[in-house]
Amino acid sequence: MKNYYSYNINGNCVLIVEDNGCIVEIALAEKKVNGNKTETAAIKTAASQIEEYFAGKRKSFDFPINPQGGEFQKQVWAALRNIPYGQLRTYKQIAEETGNPKASRAVGMANNKNPLPIVIPCHRVVGSNGKLVGYAYGLAMKEYLISIEKNAVLLQK
């Protein structure tokens, strides 16, 4: 049975879902979840690390995840996890990395189905012209997440 819990982190609603000790979903908005509203240890750890991320103090996550999706989606999500903190890639670059250079649109669809935003950083993917396009939680949220990372990188220099 899945467990879930919602938090307000830096003014953002963050819903975290856990199944068998692994985080399987993060939503940046309230949504209906089938399961128990229980703040498990795995959920608490994930929330703490996400809070550190929003504060510009965390660049990667080390809690167990188990994103559910098809084989191509999982390939795309693995490629997204290789994008360094504070950097951007295009949909075409991700398509090429998965061995499917003509699959830019399919990469976009896999991004849209990403169950673990922030942890699997689909917000770091932009259009071929460098413009922000498409994000399940809106372009304002995408821009906000990118700005967190850019500001943190600038502070380190």
Domain boundaries, the chain: 3-54, 71-156
Which helix (H) or strand (E) segment is 42 a member of?
helix 41-54
Question: What does the radius of gyration of the chain's CA atoms come to, in whole angstroms?
Answer: 15
Per-residue pLDDT tens for 2-59?
999 999 998 889 999 999 999 999 999 888 888 899 999 999 999 999 999 999 999 9
Catalytic residues: 122
Sorted by sequence, the CB contacts under 8 Å of residue 41 that are 6+ apart come out as none
pTM to 2 decimal places: 0.91
CA gap 104, 89 in Å, rounded:
12
- How confident is the model at residue 5, as a pLDDT? 96
pLDDT tier at 157, thresholds 50, 70, 90: low
Q: Check the CA dihedral 98-70-109-151 and report its sign.
A: negative
User: Which CATH number among 3.40.50.1240, 1.10.10.10, 1.10.3720.10, 3.40.50.720 corresponds to the domain 71-156?
Assistant: 1.10.10.10
Which helix (H) or strand (E) segment is 133 a member of?
none
The phi, psi pair for 69, rounded to 5°, reads 180, 180
